[in-house]
Structure 1
Amino acid sequence: MQLSPVKLRLLTTSLLTVSFLGALDHTVVSTSLATISGELGALQLMSWVVVGYTLASTVLLPVLGRLGDVLGARRIFLVSLVMFLAASLACGFATDIAWLIAARVLQGMSSAGLQLMSQTIIARVTTQRERPRYMAIIGAAFPIAILVGPVVGGAITDYWGWQWVFWINIPVGAAAFALALVAVPHLEPGPAPRHFDIAGSAVFTSALVALVLAASWAAERDGGPAAGSALAASIAGFIAFFLIERRAPEPIIPLHFFANRTIAAGTALSAIIGVGFFSITAYLPTYFQMAYRTSATVSGLVPIATVFGMLISNLLTGWLASRTGRYRIFPVGGTVLGAVALLVMALLPAGLQLWAPMIVMGAVGLGTGAFMSLIVAVVQGAVPAGQTGTITATINLVRQVGSTVATAVIGGVIGSGVAAFLPAGLDASTLTPQQVHQAPPAVQADVAQIYSSVFTPIFIALACAYALGILAAVLLPHGRLSDEPVPAHAPSETLPA
């Protein structure tokens, strides 16, 4: 379906607003957690306010993608928005931690629908040539949320109360809903399934929940046995899922997709973003506070530079790909830049002026942004329009799972590595940057060297992940993005395979 320029701008404004709300709720809560847990008296369950949201938004992606194709992306989008606003209202009225976690799970479920259907709707109303530009605009919601979320969350908590971290969504979301009713077009859904893949959906969701739980528990001090059991259950679940999908008449994740070179390479690149980029950003402030001996405020400059580089590159490459029709050069160049920059991070001696790592991590962001949204647009063009939701869910799913697992692994490596090398008298479980900064210069130097030594192999491993991404990017087929809309039920892909 082709829209007029005015309607397309209205649609983009509506989708960007809603995508930003969903992304912001993922980041804005971080600075409110201490206040929330203190008032609700549940410090030990504090992490589940975030984990519940992330888990719900991850496991529902394939189900929502399939439902969007069958029932229509507009319907799923509007229902998700109403559910998101209701969950936001419930979060603010929470009187205990169980209530808040349950409301956050509902919020995460609806957020997945908002993010996924926003990308699906854009894909359905644009040509392949137009799509990267608009996908980049929608994709800008997440880096912007990373930049402003913690500051906004802290200010709201300090001046209005933590409840307004959630309630602020209501007026903005209501305005976005009114705009969406007008701007989001009715799109032809795919053919109704004769058999919905209930078994595949249930097994996949269970296996994915077990995997995310294993990754979360692995980072906890006494979580080893539970993480091992969850991981075993996850592996068994994914094996069962693979066998079910091979026999399912209409699988929730069609495995034949991955015989297409564009989809296989694009999926690998999406996983690289989760593993190599999103996993490390959460740990950068700690690294610079310890290894570079900066304050908490100053340490935040490096992730800001990283995310800002990603934002600029994302918008620029989306515009260039739409203008020229060429797309392969951007993931190739982006993965090369990311791999080189992360290797440089591994080689940087601790104690340099902060502008040096800021520039290097900014380059990592530039490299990642070069294909972050673009690869979603390219992969969407490799399937019929009637399967856009399914493939969009798949490409987002591998990114989120990769980020979750890699974040837990990196956290475990940091925790065990620092604990193993700390000087006598320092306890890794209670060590804070303030404690280190008040210690004698020799102790500060020892701790800085330990953190540098622990993070060096992490940066090298992430550089290797981007190096694998170079291979995936090179395997993308040559070609140009088409100016023709993709048929709703085309028998084969329109990009080269």
Structure 2
Amino acid sequence: MTTLPPMRLRLMLASLLTVAFLGALDHTVVATSLATIAGELGALPQMGLVVVSYTLASTVATPVVGRLGDLMDPRRVYLVGVVVFVAASLACGFAQSMGTLVAARTVQGIGAAGIQLTAQTLVAAVAAPRLRPRYLSIVGAAFPIAIVVGPVLGGIITDTLGWRWVFWINVPLGAAALLAAAVAVPRLRPSARGRLDLLGAAAFAAAAVPLVLAVSWVGEDGGASPRVAAAAAFAAAGSVAFLASQARAAQPLLPPRFLRDRTLACCLVLSASIGVGLLSVVSYIPTYVQMVFQTTVTVSGLVPIATVLGMLAASLTTGWLAGRSGRYRAVTAAGPVAAAVGLLGVAYVPVGAPLWVPMALMALVGVGAGAYMNLVVAVVQSSVHPAETGAATSAVNLVRQLGVSVTAAVVGTAVGSGAAAALPAGVDAGGLTPDALRALAPAARAGVADAYASAFSPVFLCLALVFVLATAAAALMPAGRLPDEERGRGEAPAPLGGDPPEPPTTGVRP
């Protein structure tokens, strides 16, 4: 572990937060501009590829980047990730065809994985375990802020400067953050020795790519279809190959031993619950509010904003508290309980209730998930040998990201089909917009509200069950406290396969 002067540490955290915000922002800011982009490039049917290519590349790159952070200087991995992200953003803005834009977005997704994941690894390299929750909550604030700011910022930029500036805005901000990181982030020695598991990386790509494609096609096809079935079969075969490769690799991307460690396994379940139970449904909340409570599009955005603000406030608070006491088990248990209670409440909110009721309940869900969102990363980093910090950090992020990708498609299909089947006679599901809803007769509007409420209610109940399972995982987590100092070799578990890791060598190079 490297100790930095306070000023240099603050500069480093500012750089990590800025670049992490840019990476998270590109998940949300582009959504508002999709129709404009597809229209100008004349490729409306391929519009979804702008999002899918970014998500796919980021997912596939996550475990690879995590292991590279162990086998190389994480500072170098981070700086390369920033350069790749900024260069790809520049290329996205200059794209003259959908094929060029999708290719640039793929590279941009790889860079995003590098900067977001390595930012967390760098925190582990410069901060004692007791301080990591506080610093991780600061860097992790980028994601909830991006959820709120992204759609609005994307619309403003597209309407005033044009959609290309949605990507070009990353260039000056990324360059400034790159300069700050070059000055503030210390040079670090690799914490592990060996070669990157290229076979495992290929097998993981063979599993992740068809999996993400399958869940995206489920929403397009409205359920099972030949291409969904084929992609699912390829994903299953790739998963088997990946698991087999990890059992034999000397430096596996995701060591199987992680699943046999009770603390790590519980943290993985907790992290996945955030992706499955909350992040997957946040983008559908405005539709729920518009159709059930029959508000305007602008007003419907207040509920997800309340959710995200609750998440942000809880993350910063628990990060500060855990940094003072080192205790984390009570928070990881209380968080999913609060989220489950909130979702159960939303599932049973009557149609005629005032809007502040679902807003308060979803804020409670955000508080519950935010309470342990970044804390589990700090717990995992402190539970493994320093030579496995990058791999463990990538595992926590990967299960959350896969949970969002898979569950979001399932939720969209369930809500779409459920609401369409329950709509009153004479109401066309294809042309039902908030404006069209307000033009209907009062009886028809009430029927639409009931239809969407009946479609969303079982979804909220199922997601509440996810947080109940997360509560059970938190209860099974061994009691402990984050230590004041990094553990030594004698206290750290050895990875599966090959020799035990070398003693920690992370430090400032002379």
TM-score of the superposition, structure 2-length normalised? 0.94
Shift of 1:488: 7.6
In structure 1, the partner of 2:210 is 210
The 3-state SS of whatever aligns with 1:315 is: helix
Shift of 1:150: 1.1
Deviation readout 1:224-243 (Å, 9 max, x if unpaired) = 22111111111121122222
Paired with 1:73 and 1:174, the residues of 2 have a C-alpha distance of 19
Query: Is the 8 Å Cα contact of residues 384 and 489 (structure 1) preserved in structure 2?
Result: no
Paired with 1:232 and 1:166, the residues of 2 have a C-alpha distance of 35
Shift of 1:196: 3.4
Paired with 1:441 and 1:473, the residues of 2 have a C-alpha distance of 47
In structure 2, the partner of 1:124 is 125
Shift of 1:485: 2.3
Q: Which moved more, 1:265-274 or 1:252-261?
A: 252-261
Paired with 1:361 and 1:313, the residues of 2 have a C-alpha distance of 13
In structure 2, the partner of 1:168 is 169
Paired with 1:31 and 1:398, the residues of 2 have a C-alpha distance of 27
Matched AA of 2:41: L
Shift of 1:487: 4.2
In structure 2, the partner of 1:313 is 314
Matched AA of 1:209: V
Q: Which moved more, 1:318-327 or 1:6-15?
A: 6-15
Matches within 5 A, 1:64-83: 64-83=65-84
Shift of 1:489: 9.2
Deviation readout 1:55-92 (Å, 9 max, x if unpaired) = 11111111111111111211110001011111010011
Matched AA of 1:288: V
Paired with 1:105 and 1:485, the residues of 2 have a C-alpha distance of 36
In structure 1, the partner of 2:341 is 340
What 5-or-longer segments of structure 2 have no aligned partner?
Answer: 495-510
The 3-state SS of whatever aligns with 1:191 is: coil
Matched AA of 1:492: P
In structure 1, the partner of 2:504 is none
Paired with 1:15 and 1:150, the residues of 2 have a C-alpha distance of 22
Aligned-residue CA RMSD (Å): 1.4
Paired with 1:326 and 1:429, the residues of 2 have a C-alpha distance of 51
Matches within 5 A, 1:125-274: 125-193=126-194, 195-221=195-221, 224-274=225-275
Deviation readout 1:128-158 (Å, 9 max, x if unpaired) = 1000000000000000111111111111111
Deviation readout 1:317-376 (Å, 9 max, x if unpaired) = 000000111111111111110011100111111121111110000000000100000111
Deviation readout 1:32-51 (Å, 9 max, x if unpaired) = 11111111111111111111
Distance 1:199 1:357, change over 3 A: same
In structure 2, the partner of 1:40 is 41
Shift of 1:222: 5.9
Q: How many residues align?
A: 492
Deviation readout 1:71-117 (Å, 9 max, x if unpaired) = 12111100010111110100111111111111111111100000000
Deviation readout 1:172-202 (Å, 9 max, x if unpaired) = 1111111111111111203331x53222211
Shift of 1:415: 1.5
The 3-state SS of whatever aligns with 2:373 is: coil
Matched AA of 1:384: H
Query: Is the 8 Å Cα contact of residues 385 and 490 (structure 1) preserved in structure 2?
Result: no
Paired with 1:191 and 1:296, the residues of 2 have a C-alpha distance of 51
The 3-state SS of whatever aligns with 1:254 is: coil
In structure 2, the partner of 1:21 is 22
TM-score of the superposition, structure 1-length normalised? 0.97
Paired with 1:489 and 1:304, the residues of 2 have a C-alpha distance of 46
Distance 1:160 1:63, change over 3 A: same
Query: Is the 8 Å Cα contact of residues 414 and 455 (structure 1) preserved in structure 2?
Result: yes
Matches within 5 A, 1:268-307: 268-307=269-308
Query: Is the 8 Å Cα contact of residues 292 and 449 (structure 2) preserved in structure 1?
Result: yes
Q: Which moved more, 1:305-314 or 1:152-161?
A: 152-161
Shift of 1:492: 2.4
Query: Is the 8 Å Cα contact of residues 337 and 467 (structure 2) preserved in structure 1?
Result: yes
Matches within 5 A, 1:369-448: 369-448=370-449
In structure 1, the partner of 2:499 is none
Q: Which runs of 4+ in 1 moved over 4 A?
A: 487-490
The 3-state SS of whatever aligns with 1:288 is: helix
Paired with 2:51 and 2:491, the residues of 1 have a C-alpha distance of 40
Deviation readout 1:234-278 (Å, 9 max, x if unpaired) = 112112222222222322211012211110000000000000000
Paired with 2:80 and 2:187, the residues of 1 have a C-alpha distance of 14
In structure 2, the partner of 1:492 is 493
Query: Is the 8 Å Cα contact of residues 385 and 489 (structure 1) preserved in structure 2?
Result: no
Paired with 1:229 and 1:39, the residues of 2 have a C-alpha distance of 33
What 5-or-longer segments of structure 1 have no aligned partner?
Answer: none
Matched AA of 2:268: T
Q: Which moved more, 1:110-119 or 1:420-429?
A: 420-429
Paired with 1:358 and 1:489, the residues of 2 have a C-alpha distance of 49
Paired with 2:30 and 2:54, the residues of 1 have a C-alpha distance of 11
In structure 1, the partner of 2:112 is 111
Paired with 1:249 and 1:23, the residues of 2 have a C-alpha distance of 33
Query: Is the 8 Å Cα contact of residues 190 and 488 (structure 1) preserved in structure 2?
Result: no
